Amino acid sequence: MAQPLENMFNAPRKTTPETLTPQKSTAPNTAPAPTESAVTRRSLRPQRGSVIAPFAGIAAAAVLVTLASFANPAIANAENAAGSTASAGATTAPKVDEHAELLQRTTERADTRAEETVAQATAVLATVKGKVDTAPLISSVASLANYPYLDTTTVQTLTNTAVTVTSQAKAQAAAVDKAAADAAAAAAAQAAADAQAAADAIAAANTPDGARTVAAQMAASQYGWGDDQFQCLDSLWTKESDWNYQAENAGSGAFGIPQSLPGSKMSSIADDWATNAVTQISWGLDYIARGYGTPCAAWGHSQSVNWY
C-alpha cells in the first residue's frame, strides 16, 4: 500500500553499495574515488518497482540542468571561437583575392607596355639604321621580345631599358639628320651665293667696261699677255664691236664682242654664248692665240686688211 507523500520524503533513503562511503582498505588504490556528481547520478538512478522514480527523475533532470549550465559556457566559447575564426577567414579572404587581382593587373599593364615598347623600338630601329650604332637598340629589343615568359619585375626593368635606349637612338639620329640638313642648307646657301656671284659677274661683264676688265684679267692669267698686248686687244675689239656683247653685223652675220662668224662657233666654249660676254671673250682670246699668236699681231692684220 502506497505511503503518504510526507512519509515518503521523511523516510530514510535506501542505502546501496553505490551510495555507501567507501571504507579504507589495505588493498592498493587502483582507481580514483567516484566524484560526487557520479555518485549522485548513480544514487538517483530509479529502482525497478520504486514509487519514488518520478521524483528521482526530476532530481536527475535538475542535476543535468546544473551540469549543462557549467558546460554551456565552454560550448558558447567554442562557438564564439569558431565564429571568430570564420569571421577572420571571411575578412582575410577578400584581402587575398584583392592582392591577387592587383598582381594580375600589374602583370597585364607590364605586358601591354612591353608590347608597345617593342613595337615602337622596332619602328625606330628601321628609321635610324645607317645613321647611328643600332647594336644597343637591337640587343634591348631582343631581350624584351620574350616578355610573355618573364616575371613582371624583369619585364618592367627591360621595358624601362628599352625605352631609354630607344630615346637615345632617336636623339642621336635626330642629331645626325640635323647635321645633314645643316650641311645641305650650307651647301645650298653657298651654291646660291656662287650663282649670285656668277650672275653678278656676268652682269658686270656684259657692260663695256666690265668686259674690258674681264678680258685683261683672262689675257694675263691664261696667256701671260701684259698691258701692251691688252692695248692692242682693246683697239681691236673696240673697232669690231665696241665691246658690246650683243653687237651683230647685219651684212656678214658676225656676232658678239670678238665678232665670231657665225656666232654659233662660240658654243664650243658654252651654250650661253649669245648672252654672256665672258663666254665670248674666252672664245675670242683662244681664236687670237691660235690664229695670230698675240693680240698685237691680230690688230696689225686688221689694220692692213680690215678684218682679222
Is the residue at 281 inside a domain? yes
Question: How long is the chain?
Answer: 308
Report for 6-20, 147-161, 190-204: range of highest mean pLDDT: 147-161
- State the pLDDT at residue 5: 39
Q: Count the domains in the chain.
A: 2
Same-domain check for residues 164 and 244 = no
Please say which residue of 132, 153, 187 terminates a domain.
Answer: 187
Please say which residue of 187, 216, 243 terminates a domain.
Answer: 187
Same-domain check for residues 226 and 143 = no
Amino acid at 171: A
Give the pLDDT mean for 121-147.
Answer: 96
Is the residue at 14 inside a domain? no
As a whole-number percent, the residues of the chain with pLDDT over 90 amount to 66
Same-domain check for residues 275 and 215 = yes
C-alpha 297/C-alpha 308 separation (Å) is 9
Same-domain check for residues 243 and 275 = yes
Find where cell 616575371 sits: 151
Grid coordinates representing 307 are 678684218
pLDDT tier at 201, thresholds 50, 70, 90: confident
Give the pLDDT mean for 232-241.
Answer: 98
Give the pLDDT mean for 196-214.
Answer: 93
Q: By residue range, what is the domain housing residue 298?
A: 208-305
pLDDT in tens, 39-51: 333 333 344 344 4
C-alpha of 144 from chain center: 12
Is the residue at 23 inside a domain? no
C-alpha 223/C-alpha 285 separation (Å) is 9
Same-domain check for residues 261 and 296 = yes
pTM of the predicted protein model: 0.50
Is the residue at 109 inside a domain? yes
The distance in angstroms from the start CA to the end CA of the chain is 189
Same-domain check for residues 221 and 175 = no
Is the residue at 47 inside a domain? no
- State the pLDDT at residue 94: 54
Contacts of 203 (CB under 8 A, 6+ apart): 210
Q: Is the pLDDT of residue 99 over 50?
A: yes
Same-domain check for residues 179 and 220 = no
pLDDT tier at 64, thresholds 50, 70, 90: very low
Burial string for 159-175 (b: 16+ CB within 10 Å, else e) reads bebbbebbeebbebbee
pLDDT in tens, 166-180: 999 999 999 999 999
Widest pairwise Cα distance in the chain: 197
Is the residue at 285 inside a domain? yes
C-alpha 254/C-alpha 266 separation (Å) is 11
Same-domain check for residues 110 and 166 = yes
Same-domain check for residues 296 and 241 = yes
- State the pLDDT at residue 24: 44
Is the residue at 34 inside a domain? no
Which of 79-93, 247-261, 273-287 has the weakest average pLDDT? 79-93
Is the residue at 138 inside a domain? yes
**Torsions phi, psi for 198 (to 5 deg):** -65, -40
Same-domain check for residues 212 and 179 = no
Q: Which residue has the higher pLDDT, 264 or 23?
A: 264
Q: Is the pLDDT of residue 8 over 90?
A: no
Q: Is the pLDDT of residue 109 over 80?
A: yes
Same-domain check for residues 222 and 144 = no
Q: CB burial class (10 A; 0-12, 13-18, 19+) of residue 279?
A: buried
